Structure 1
């Protein structure tokens, strides 16, 4: 799968190689409810490096071979709680980047 990264995915200081690592090797993948017609948002959660803090990346699956990353930041406890996925993943949280 080809991963394209939009400028909005870089707003929180997550590097392109970190985004690609999380999308390619997530600890957890969750299909989200689309807010826009014709989109298929998928949340990827995991560390970019072994034993690193977890990162959240949301991609839009444009077609089977293209994922467009439009959101990336350090994983938030509130996201895990709001999605009710505490039992599916035991993340390592890091501080937010700017």
Structure 2
């Protein structure tokens, strides 16, 4: 996997030279968000998904999120959910509790 911070929409589309086409190891361009959902899959399900997408000449040009959407509805990543829930006070008190630039100095 080639992971980018933001979606790289043409990364797998075949419009540009496909990543991994010249090598012996296949590859897939994915964004961090796609990776966050991908890691919620069971090991066998993840491997099957990547292998079936790589074997399909159409799906191998898709974004990983589109391939996963064909699979099923994916749950939220529990690690990220736990991390976001650590900031529950922001939801309860509103944005005025966030420090201003002056307070951060």
Which range, TM-score by smaller chain? under 0.3
Q: TM-score, with normalisation over the residues of structure 1?
A: 0.26
- Rg larger for: 2
Give the number of the structure with larger relative contact order, counting CA–CA contacts within 8 Å between residues 6 or more apart.
1
